[in-house]
Amino acid sequence: MRPQTTLRLSAEEIALLDAAAQRLRLDRASLIRAAALGVADLVLEAARPLVLSVEPAALLRRVADRVESGRSAGATR
């Protein structure tokens, strides 16, 4: 189950939100969705890379080293 957050906006805040959405030619839900996606994008940009497992990375490094050494050996021949 995903956690949810409920925001309670005042009538003034809703009016400002609706005015902003109207200026952008969006409905309220689309504006909120776009803002949430923008914030998520900023968070992901600032986050450190996620490392799921060290072993696959080490395996890929070994393969890359082999490919590189094969190129070097071919270049010296």
- The pLDDT value given to residue 26: 94
Which sequence spans correspond to the domains of the chain? 11-76
CA terminus-to-terminus distance, the chain: 60
> Residues near 26 by Cβ (< 8 Å), separated by ≥ 6?
34
Over the chain, what is the mean pLDDT? Answer: 84
What is the pLDDT averaged over residues 24-49?
90
CB 57 within 8 A of CB 51: yes
Whether residue 37 is predicted with pLDDT greater than 70 in this model: the reply is yes
Whether residue 54 is predicted with pLDDT greater than 70 in this model: the reply is no
pLDDT tens digits along 16-26? 999 999 999 99
- Indicate the pTM of the whole model: 0.51
Q: Provide the pLDDT confidence category of residue 7 given band limits of 50, 70 and 90.
A: confident
